[in-house]
Structure 1
Amino acid sequence: MMEFLKDFQKMGIYLAYNVNVDAIVYLNEKHIESLIKEFGAENIKKRIDEYPREINEPLDFVARLIHTLKTGKPQAVPLVSYEADRWFNSRFKYDFERIGGQVGVIANLLANLDFNKVIAYSPLLGRKQAEMFVNRDNLLYPVVENGRLVLKKPLEAYREDDPVKINRIFEFRAGTKFKLGDETIEVPYSGRFIVACRFEDFARIETSPELKPYLPEIGEMVDGAILSGYQGLRKYYSDGKDANYYLRKAKEDIKLLKKKKDIKIHVEFASIQDRELRKKVIYNIFPLVDSVGMDEAEIAHILSVLGYRELSDRIFTYNRIEDAVLGAKILLDELNLEILQVHTIYYLMYITHDDNPLTEKELMKSLEVGTTLAATRAFLGDIKRPEDVKAGLSIPFNEKGEYVKLRFEEAKAKMRTREYKIVIIPTRLVRNPVSTVGLGDTISAGAFASYLSLLRRKG
């Protein structure tokens, strides 16, 4: 771990596109009971059966929240109504606010790990967001001044008129009990429910026209890039543009970043509710990048789009390691990826082709960096300096670790894997996490950064 931290001090990363403010509520029985009383158990059950895929009114939120509490699985559902947005502000007192979005979480993490240079870009940068980036010399925002690329601290680069995106995050704890009518529900796992703001202003995934010509120069400055936020795209926009327009722009960005130096690019994939949009992102973006990170549910969503509906259903229904491995093999090959990283509650997995320059042992070391950083964040709430990782190293691997390894070996024995390197490690699991927000992003950033570090050592 210490060797990787030393390597990070010599490395640079570019991040784009999504930054927001996370307004966090720690849910307890009183919150839940109050919502059930306000909207009525029968109304909530009926709306759960309808399974709203976006939040147009408060009842949509309550139904999806209760469903999430029953399963204990983290969820993010888009908020599309300004009226519902105002209801949240009047209904909840937030426990605290902090930077959010994959770019925001990862930028602060890597800067605090003493990366040499972290260049974080978001099309919108309001003052509140700029203030939430850590104020460090190695965390920079790109601007163009007098025809030149200039890197400034976010607090020196924000635009007063830019709107600020706020996502509401409801953290819940395993063991929380409540009644929904005659039904008693106990939350099986700790997690979070995200009400993801999806207003049009925040749904334009692009680099500003003045900065775009300088992307090759940015690519030369860094070892790799992490791109995220495609889940915010819309099919259509009020000015006549559509998702295809912004995906063309996003593809141009990737090509420009690689123009002068063939840097590695990782995409952190997040759930896209709309099947057609999901398909567009997968087919347009994935074949141009080197690495993708996702959880097992997202593997299932993508397999469904690619036509593997039966395998997708098996992953959703049974959540077996052998199905996840088979699904990962399909994604790696069909989408022409260099490496796929999968993060779940109990294990992390890499799958790559046999000609990857890293050994299986090195790939496992990279995954261990990811789970150690996530355990540190879950235990402390945040990572503020490299020394904090010692806390993560003291967190044991989860109790299902041996079972995971056994099932993985059984899976490998049943299927053809000679052309691949597939490694799996159990996660370090914090029993009562201070927070679960951003743990997937932390795993992916740590794994990708350490993957780059190992490639650098190979020369």
Structure 2
Amino acid sequence: MDDARTRLRADIAALADLPVFVAYNANVDAIVRVDDGLGPVLERPSEPGVRSPPSPLASTRDLATAITHTMATGQGDEIAMTDALADRLESSLSPDRQQLGGQTGIMTDLCASLGAAPITYTYLLSERQCSQFDHPDAVRYPIVEDGQIRFVPLCEAEPADRTKINWVFEFRAGDELFGVRATEDTRFIAASRPPEFDLHAGTLDDAIDQVGEAVDGALLAGYHNLTPEHVEAGYEDAHRHAREVIRRLRTGGTVDVHIEYVAAHDDDLRASIYEWILPEANVIGVDTRELAVLSDDAGLDSRGNGPTAETPFDETEILAHYRLLDALRADLGVACIRLHAMEYHLAVLDSYLPPDAVRRGLEFAAINAATKASRGEITAPSDLRTGLEYGPSAQGREAIERLAEYVDEPVDDGTLCTPTVVACPNRVVDDPAGTVGIGDIVSASSFLLELAVATDRDGTST
């Protein structure tokens, strides 16, 4: 434990004042616990737990269909809803609590909480949303004046007059709605899609190279926030514009780009992201469901991609994950794809960063994940001591041993670290305080530490 604490202190020290750009999607999450009080607010679906939900969600019946389907499958999901349904939920539902949401919101908050120096851009930055950040004064916001960027404290940016709200319906295994019993602890997200989230950031787009001059890396997400109603010229034009912004960002300096993937239900939207956005990444972050969707879209065989309610954990599933990640990395031409699974974290790479930097990032991410799951939040570096109280997953170690045999490489203390594949066991919390945002926490924490270690910010060599 003493060695682990020493490593953790070194990792936290390495992140001090690390400059990173984070964009584009932030919102307020309205959290609703699925219980007996929710049913009367919704219209009963025709086949609870069986019928797949439509996209977008246009009624409370559609919403009930989506929630019960997620409860039955045991896999968290997110589907866009119409503006009309978003308005209806805000007028008829009272959340149990509210918190900062969206990949960009969650990752920015983590960056600031761990002592890094985030520069953040998002749309509709309202006073209500700004109040959800734990350390708003530690976050800078880019303002363009006469073609020059000036960075100001987050809440000094001109506030929007309304807020993007996502509704998050959380449930535990055994919870019931319309006769459907939840098979796992997870959640369903009904996501709003305001027209402002069109991947155009006004004058910032033309000056984004100045942001590139000020940062070492970028955590980008929100490319799935488009809808046909709000993008008249089509997904391709919006994503081609976003691609050019990423390229312009890099002209300002050496900027590694992490893209956090979200599997939208719109086939055309996913195809556009795959063609125009993902190939621009240095590293892509996915969970097991997103990996399956990506693999299917790419024409790869993703059967056996992960455990289900009917199939308990099998350590050999890591082999399928490894093969799919390797094939996707080659198909997209990116340097690294990282997977956050329940029992382990896995990265397949090719000349992205030194493997030891990636290993340290994954191990750090496991501590962050356990802390977030146990406490429900990470607001200061000292919180991470909680994550050390949870040991590495025994099932994760078994899976990594199986992968090591497959690639004919040794395992060191449960971790596999080679120039092309890195894996470490997760630290699993059996009774999590919440499930929303843990994947974003994993991706952000691993990427931050990889950057810090690779640039030797802590004074040690990799």
Residue in 2 that maps onto 1:358: 354
Contact 1:44 1:59 in 2 (8 A): no
How many residues end up aligned between the 2 structures?
Answer: 438
* CA shift digits 1:74-104 (9 cap, x unpaired): 111111241x223323442211112111111
Residue in 1 that maps onto 2:426: 427
* CA shift digits 1:238-277 (9 cap, x unpaired): 6x42212211221111111110212100100011111221
Identify if the C-alpha distance between structure 1 residues 50 and 175 changes in structure 2 by more than 3 Å, giving closer, same or farther: closer
Contact 2:357 2:454 in 1 (8 A): no
Amino acid aligned to 2:381: P
- Which secondary structure does the structure 2 equivalent of 1:230 belong to? coil
Identify if the C-alpha distance between structure 1 residues 395 and 158 changes in structure 2 by more than 3 Å, giving closer, same or farther: farther
Are 1:102 and 2:103 matched, yes or no? yes
Residue in 2 that maps onto 1:143: 143
Deviation, 1:399, is: 4.3
381-390 or 119-128, which deviates more: 119-128
Deviation, 1:68, is: 0.9
- Which secondary structure does the structure 1 equivalent of 2:455 belong to? helix
Instruction: Give the number of the structure whose residues are more often helix, by fraction.
Output: 1
Residue in 2 that maps onto 1:204: 198
Contact 1:17 1:206 in 2 (8 A): no
Amino acid aligned to 1:2: R
Residue in 2 that maps onto 1:300: 292
Amino acid aligned to 2:54: P
Choose the corresponding residue for 1:6, options 6, 13, 26.
13
Q: How large is the Cα RMSD of the aligned pairs?
A: 2.5
Deviation, 1:177, is: 4.7
Residue in 1 that maps onto 2:227: 234
Partner Cα distance (2:322, 2:376) in 1:
31
Contact 1:340 1:351 in 2 (8 A): yes
Are 1:128 and 2:128 matched, yes or no? yes
* CA shift digits 1:414-455 (9 cap, x unpaired): 9xx999621222211112211111100000000111111121
Choose the corresponding residue for 2:282, options 260, 277, 290.
290
Choose the corresponding residue for 1:66, options 65, 68, 76.
68
Contact 2:393 2:425 in 1 (8 A): yes
Identify if the C-alpha distance between structure 1 residues 418 and 66 changes in structure 2 by more than 3 Å, giving closer, same or farther: closer
* CA shift digits 1:156-192 (9 cap, x unpaired): 113343x311000111112335662xxxx54232111
Choose the corresponding residue for 2:47, options 30, 39, 44.
44
Deviation, 1:147, is: 4.5
Tell me, which stretches of 5 or more residues in structure 1 are unaligned? Answer: none
Are 1:370 and 2:365 matched, yes or no? yes
Partner Cα distance (1:231, 1:97) in 2:
23
Amino acid aligned to 1:288: E
Contact 1:268 1:293 in 2 (8 A): yes
Identify if the C-alpha distance between structure 1 residues 356 and 265 changes in structure 2 by more than 3 Å, giving closer, same or farther: closer
Identify if the C-alpha distance between structure 1 residues 175 and 154 changes in structure 2 by more than 3 Å, giving closer, same or farther: same
Tell me, which stretches of 5 or more residues in structure 2 are unaligned? Answer: 1-7, 410-415
Deviation, 1:3, is: 1.3
Residue in 2 that maps onto 1:453: 452
Deviation, 1:340, is: 0.9
Amino acid aligned to 1:231: H
Partner Cα distance (1:158, 1:98) in 2:
21
Residue in 1 that maps onto 2:345: 348
Residue in 1 that maps onto 2:387: 392
Amino acid aligned to 1:125: L
| TM-score normalised by structure 1 residue count | 0.88
| TM-score normalised by structure 2 residue count | 0.88
Contact 1:99 1:133 in 2 (8 A): yes
Choose the corresponding residue for 2:239, options 247, 261, 264.
247
Contact 1:343 1:443 in 2 (8 A): yes
Amino acid aligned to 2:158: Y
Residue in 2 that maps onto 1:27: 34
